[in-house]
Amino acid sequence: MKKHLLAVAAATIISFASAGVCHAQQAVLAVNIPFEFQAGNQTLPPGDYRIETVRTGAGAMQRLRLVDSSASKVVMTLPVESKHGIPEPKLIFHRYGQTYFLSQIWTGESMGRQLFESNREKEISRWDANGELALVLPATAVMP
């Protein structure tokens, strides 16, 4: 029993140490979003945001946080690969009327992150055939 507890404790310590190393290598995006937008099921206000990767065992999530810390959201994402080399750091939004939905996050690496389409976006896109890739906001990659 003691050997089992010791093995579990050692594995936990190693995983935390590895996560710290991975986190230290992650780029943080700084971007000014000049409009209200949806991320997941939450509406976020315009402002200066910091976006960082939160690593998990099952994949990666992204944390969007206003610089003044008045709003924050963690969203689940899927990897998406660029077909045209390594893209510049940017955010991609879908727009339906005056409603914006964050769709993709690119950190300047070959893989970007795709947000899951929210129920609200699915519903709006069914009724609004004129939805468009609204805006690509350039971001500045900065180290934490």
Instruction: Determine the Cα–Cα distance for residues 121 and 22; give it in Å rounded to an integer.
Output: 33
Q: pTM of the full predicted structure?
A: 0.74
Residue 9, both tokens: 């404790």
Give me the sign of the Cα torsion angle 24, 25, 31, 35. negative
Residue 29: pLDDT above 70? yes
Write the pLDDT tens digit of every residue in 35-73: 999 999 999 999 999 999 888 876 689 999 999 988 999
